[in-house]
A and B are shown apart, each in its own frame.
Chain A
Amino acid sequence: MSEQVNSSGKMSFSELMEKYKVGAFFQKYTMIIALIAVTIVFATWKGKEGLILLPSNLTGLIAENGYVFVLATGMLLCILTGGNIDLSVGSVVCFTAAIGCTMMAGGANMWLTTAVMLLIGLAIGVFQGFWIAKVRVPAFIATLAGMYAFRGFTNVVLNGLRVDITNEGFLQVFGNGKTSFIPDFIRNAAPGLDNVFTKDNAFLTGLIGENFIAKFNVTCMCIGILGTLIFIAVRVHKMVSQKKLGIAQSIPGQIVSTVIISALILWMCFKFSCYRGFPMVMIWIGLVLGIYAYITNKTAIGRHLYAVGGNEKATALSGVKTRNVYWFAYANIGLLAGLAGILTAARAKGIDPVYGEGYEMDAIASCFIGGASAYGGTGRVSGMIIGAILMGVINKGMIIVGVDANYQKVVKGIVLLVAVMFDVLSKRQKR
């Protein structure tokens, strides 16, 4: 009898879960929840409380991982086509950077150099894509060949030596030194604000904290607030149109996620405002992420990537030239490797022949942690961003709390394995 009561109680609970799509919500936002949890763990670490949340650490988190965001975006497109990866990006990053640094050391104009670096990246992508798409060499092998070859070319270009960058303009636009932050236009335009942002203003000091009040970047905060409002407007618009079409989506779930993401954006922008504002590299990351979120979600080629990875045969029978889809993905990651080369060189103020080693693995891991399927066909730019940030937080957090460098790699490995395990298990249930 009591068993019956129990089981009926369970039923109504699971019905409740079903009604509010709790399971689906957790499945969809697993990685955001994991990200928040990991951050809380590091932020409350005994003796290191709050260190990871210091503005300078958060800025570093983005700036240091600029190449990961850019490469992971390219990698995501390749993975979408069926779990294909590009192992050559680390070498291509170093190769393009080597060419660029050598050019600038010879006095070349920074914009010309930038264009050349991007074009070389693209050309390498087109070349590797040719072997993969047309000759059908497995992507793993074609790009492994590229990984060796371009590492070798790098050494040839650099003669095995480091080349420094002295072009200040280049460093300012792409780097993250003291100069490469977006200036505070508002405070520059209105010097009177300096008198408002002082320690005497008890209200603002309470809000911002006395360490940061004097140099608080108002422009950055305004952009953050504006961005959050736009984000909320887009989400609300989407929800309303979904409701109109009568599509079954978890409205409470969407509201919760909108609130969480808005709060995260605002909070991040606040932290950046406390420390010099947005680093320049964020513009490039933001541009890439925005453009590729648009390409994957809205354009025909984006949908073809998902279609090829989901069912190549069906795609071919629908009249899509599937080989060109692969070619696009690999040409594209070459271009992005060129951009990552620019960011890497600028950040390091030069190039060493060993730079870029292991970058491909960081990019691949970010995609898989961010929910891309190892079989292709599913994965989103937004998920990949979360994956990359999660990796970054774990890296940074472990350095702050003083985990041995070797164990840092162990932890990264475990995170990757667990994330992909979720993907595989969720598919098995559906069968």
Chain B
Amino acid sequence: MCNMSEQQETRAREPYLLEMLDIEKQFPGVKALDHARLQLRAGTVHALMGENGAGKSTLMKCLFGIYTRDGGTITMNGEPVTFTSPRDALDNGVAMVHQELNQVLRRNVMENVWLGRFPTTKLGTVDTRKMYADTKAVFERLEIDVDPKQIIGELSVSKRQMVEIAKAVSYNAKILVLDEPTSSLTEDEVEHLFRIMHRLTSEGVGIIYISHKMDEILRISNDVTIMRDGQWIATKSAETLTKEEIIRLMVGREMTNQFPPKNNQIGDVLLDVRNFSGMYEPTCHDVSFQLHKGEVLGVAGLVGSRRTELLNSLFGYFTSGGGEVTMNGKPIRNVTTDEARKNGFALITEERRATGIFGENTILFNTIIANVDAYGKPLLNARKMDRDTDEQIAAMKVKTPSKKTLIKSLSGGNQQKVIIGRWLLTNPDVLLMDEPTRGIDVGAKYEIYQLILNLASQGKGVMMVSSEMPELLGICDRILVMSNGHLAGIVERGKDFGNIPGEQEKIMELAAKYV
């Protein structure tokens, strides 16, 4: 009893500036937030940490009114609040620097800074002079050297990032959310940002800071909240934490028997990639590796490490900029996706709903679409298409009432099986899989892993991008670790991982190598 009242007293003395409790958010097929929690004190920097997909950005989007939460409470200074739009959040003293740079590239800097709150003259016109002076004043206060009249698309990415930070500061918000603000900043600019943050906290602003960079976090923040799988894991004072401790809390999962036994035999070199780069930024640079027959080659990395760009460039969907690719000793070049397909490549894309399925079409349509050439010209052979679709449904164990069912009505796992089946019809040698188990429930994941291993056993080469470390460790033979567009290292099963202590930490460190 006594203890309780003491706690209550402490709380009354020092109320939280922002308190988010038991926040829930459900996306189709995935629980993105499950009792997430964040408690921010005024005048402090609160780091929010977690692996890719842990729900950090989702939690912030629930705060900023971009997403509507399904449950939980948000209070500011003890008052319950719910923001229904970014406008609402901004009006109530919450500003945010988003993970992606959201700017109107063809307009100038000051217009981007004051968008949504242009100063106006008595005539109702935009007061360009005041806007210019105000922008200059903000930039001078924050010591940012950018011409307010310059078209923002002409600035470097890091300058644009600094403008975005200045914009957020200019709202004079009580709460400032910085979602990976340093990902494109130079070292000097990071120091500059930290000075700005110190100044704001001394003025009583509460800052929520999302970053993957451990050193930064430990240096700048007062408290650290760690999330995993959409759940709150721990909130600790930064002083009591170490890098190792944070990684342990972030990774935290117990490895159970969630993977099928590996039975694939690694054969000869299938694909030899040398100094491979993409053409247009952001892209991968100077990547060299070999993929063997029968091998499952993982690709690990943080968001923005250009893993997807590597796969898309190899497949000819993105323009490749340089380097050599040889397949079975013969040089090849996938200029278009059509050539890639004919060269025996298959790509299972990351955004299944956006770039994988044809949602409004049947399973049959979705199964044969990459292989239409094979069904006769000029008329399609319906019987052959039916037979192939039935075969793939059986082979992939797709759970569906019929092949005429619309694919959008299937679960994520079954959709993914249809897409894998689609590509198997083209009889590929190299399968590029980008997050093949994203948004799929645990049972179906096991089946996908089994499929991948079976394909490898048949002598195909599989390259698999994943943000889930355990699955990479569970089914891959080797793992490429990408960092900021470069290959940071390759780790091998038995040597670097596979029930070896410190394996995840090693990969995490490599992933942060060029960040």
A residues lining the B interface (CB < 8 Å): 245, 247, 294, 298-300, 302-304, 306-307, 310-311, 313-321, 377-378, 431
B87 touches A321 (CB 8 A): yes
B118 touches A303 (CB 8 A): yes
Q: In the assembly, what is the distance between CA of A400 and CA of B104, in Å?
A: 45
B126 touches A377 (CB 8 A): no
The 10 closest A-B pairs by CB, nearest first: A314-B102, A310-B104, A319-B87, A318-B116, A319-B116, A298-B125, A318-B115, A300-B118, A320-B116, A311-B104
Provide a sorted-by-A list of 28 A–B residue pairs whose CB atoms are within 8 angstroms.
A245-B149, A247-B147, A294-B125, A299-B126, A300-B120, A303-B115, A303-B118, A304-B115, A306-B104, A307-B107, A310-B104, A311-B103, A314-B103, A316-B85, A316-B86, A317-B66, A318-B90, A318-B116, A319-B86, A319-B87, A319-B90, A319-B91, A319-B116, A320-B115, A321-B87, A377-B104, A377-B106, A378-B106
Interface positions, chain B 108-133, Cβ under 8 Å from A, are: 111-112, 115-118, 120, 124-126, 132
How many residues of B sit at the interface, in one of the four size bands? 20 to 34
B116 touches A315 (CB 8 A): yes
The distance from the CB of B178 to the nearest CB of chain A, in whole angstroms, is: 14
Q: In the assembly, what is the distance between CA of A311 and CA of B104, in Å?
A: 5
By beta carbon, the residue of chain B nearest A320 is B116
Q: Which residues of B contact A377 (CB under 8 A)?
A: 104, 106
Task: Specify which of B96, B98, B104, B112 lies most central, judged by the most chain A CB atoms within 10 Å of its CB.
Answer: B104
Instruction: Work out how many contacts link A and B, with CB atoms closer than 8 A.
Output: 75
What string of 1s and 0s marks CB contacts (under 8 Å) between B88-108 and chain A? 001100001010001111110
Q: Any chain A CB within 8 A of the CB of B280?
A: yes
* Other A-B pairs, 15, CB within 8 Å; known A307-B104, A307-B107: A245-B149, A300-B124, A303-B107, A303-B115, A306-B106, A307-B115, A310-B106, A310-B107, A311-B105, A318-B86, A318-B112, A319-B117, A320-B87, A320-B115, A377-B104
Q: Which residues of B contact A303 (CB under 8 A)?
A: 107, 111, 115, 118, 126
Q: Which residues of B contact A317 (CB under 8 A)?
A: 66, 86, 96, 98, 102
Q: Which residues of A contact B86 (CB under 8 A)?
A: 316-319
By beta carbon, the residue of chain B nearest A314 is B102
Q: Which residues of B contact A310 (CB under 8 A)?
A: 104-107
What string of 1s and 0s marks CB contacts (under 8 Å) between B384-415 and chain A? 00000000000000000000000000000000
The distance from the CB of B62 to the nearest CB of chain A, in whole angstroms, is: 15
Q: In the assembly, what is the distance between CA of A317 and CA of B102, in Å?
A: 8
Q: In the assembly, what is the distance between CA of A149 and CA of B464, in Å?
A: 54
Q: In the assembly, what is the distance between CA of A294 and CA of B121, in Å?
A: 14
Q: Which residues of A contact B111 (CB under 8 A)?
A: 303, 307
Q: Which residues of A contact B105 (CB under 8 A)?
A: 310-311
Q: Which residues of A contact B106 (CB under 8 A)?
A: 306, 310, 377-378
Q: Which residues of A contact B112 (CB under 8 A)?
A: 314, 318
Q: In the assembly, what is the distance between CA of A313 and CA of B115, in Å?
A: 12
Q: In the assembly, what is the distance between CA of A29 and CA of B64, in Å?
A: 43
Of B90, B107, B117, B125, which one neighbours A306 at CB under 8 angstroms?
Answer: B107
Interface positions, chain B 477-498, Cβ under 8 Å from A, are: none
The distance from the CB of A371 to the nearest CB of chain B, in whole angstroms, is: 13
Q: In the assembly, what is the distance between CA of A299 and CA of B87, in Å?
A: 20
Q: Which residues of A contact B120 (CB under 8 A)?
A: 299-300
Q: In the assembly, what is the distance between CA of A300 and CA of B132, in Å?
A: 15
Q: In the assembly, what is the distance between CA of A67 and CA of B422, in Å?
A: 54
Q: Which residues of A contact B102 (CB under 8 A)?
A: 311, 313-314, 317
What string of 1s and 0s marks CB contacts (under 8 Å) between B301-331 and chain A? 0000000000000000000000000000000
Q: Which residues of B contact A321 (CB under 8 A)?
A: 85, 87
Q: In the assembly, what is the distance between CA of A354 and CA of B423, in Å?
A: 54
By beta carbon, the residue of chain A nearest B149 is A247
Q: In the assembly, what is the distance between CA of A205 and CA of B125, in Å?
A: 47
Q: In the assembly, what is the distance between CA of A264 and CA of B379, in Å?
A: 61
What string of 1s and 0s marks CB contacts (under 8 Å) between B70-94 and chain A? 0000000000000001110011000
The distance from the CB of B98 to the nearest CB of chain A, in whole angstroms, is: 6
Q: Which residues of B contact A313 (CB under 8 A)?
A: 102
Q: In the assembly, what is the distance between CA of A294 and CA of B86, in Å?
A: 29
- Given known contacts A311-B102, A321-B87, A298 and B126 CB-to-CB distance under 8 angstroms: yes
Q: In the assembly, what is the distance between CA of A299 and CA of B125, in Å?
A: 4
Q: In the assembly, what is the distance between CA of A306 and CA of B112, in Å?
A: 11
Q: Which residues of A contact B125 (CB under 8 A)?
A: 294, 298-299
Of A299, A306, A320, A378, which one neighbours B124 at CB under 8 angstroms?
Answer: A299
Q: Which residues of B contact A319 (CB under 8 A)?
A: 85-87, 90-91, 116-117
Q: In the assembly, what is the distance between CA of A311 and CA of B103, in Å?
A: 7
A431 touches B280 (CB 8 A): yes
Q: Which residues of A contact B126 (CB under 8 A)?
A: 298-300, 302-303
